[in-house]
Structure 1
Amino acid sequence: MSRELSVAHCPNCGNVFQKNLRNLCAACTAEEDGQLASLEQMLKRNRKLTNEQLAEQSEVSEQRIRAYIRKGKLKLYDYPNLTDECDLCAGPIRQGKLCVSCTTRIKGDIRLDMERSKQQQAKHVFLSRNGR
């Protein structure tokens, strides 16, 4: 009975690897683990570093740092000056995917659209003479 191997291309380097939970080849997994260990060590020395300062000191890009934050590999509650970016305006956020102002704006837009929709529906109501 033959058993098939499930393989894929590594999203980081493009090498073929046997699929795993992390979806990375062994070399990229080791690199990521090394980067995370380095970042954690620097943050333990100075937990008040910003994303920019951490990137400069560690030689890990700010984009990669934000990716680690988004994946939950760097916990923001431990480090007060690390931030993620709002998906719409790229402003700093500490939780979720949208900042407060974008969330408020979207909720307002939805509320306004719903009110307009109700008004449009009310205009198209027809009554018969019999009230039916």
Structure 2
Amino acid sequence: MNALQQLIRSRMEDRRWSYGDVAQRGGLPRSTVHHIATTDRLTRPPNPTTLERLAIGLEVPLDTVRAAAADAAGLSTWHQSVTDPEIDVLVAGLTQLSPQDRRHVQALVESLLDDERRRNDLP
């Protein structure tokens, strides 16, 4: 069971809610909540609006749902505070890109990091 499934199921058990209860509270279709709660491996996190509504429906902080969704999709999340304005601008800019363009940026960053690791491993 992935982190998002665990979050949803534990909240539902604790509150004795159904998928329909969570869906109604968050303004989501029941089928969406059911799908997210029963999909073992997400290929990508649900869209931001779905995550926001799911957080409302589960009555948990949005960051909790975001972190669980990222983990369920096999993505890493950043837990360290950032004080560098360049990083803030880069991250904020990513939100304005299309999903396809964000994947290109991700591939570029991964490539640059791989190059850096190779350079550091060489004598």
Between the two structures, name the one with larger relative contact order (CA 8 Å, sep ≥ 6). Answer: 2
TM interval, short-chain normalised: 0.3 to 0.5
Whichever structure has more helix as a proportion of its residues is 2
Larger radius of gyration: 1
Q: Normalising by the residue count of structure 1, what TM-score does the alignment of the two structures yield?
A: 0.31
Whichever structure has more strand as a proportion of its residues is 1
Q: Normalising by the residue count of structure 2, what TM-score does the alignment of the two structures yield?
A: 0.33
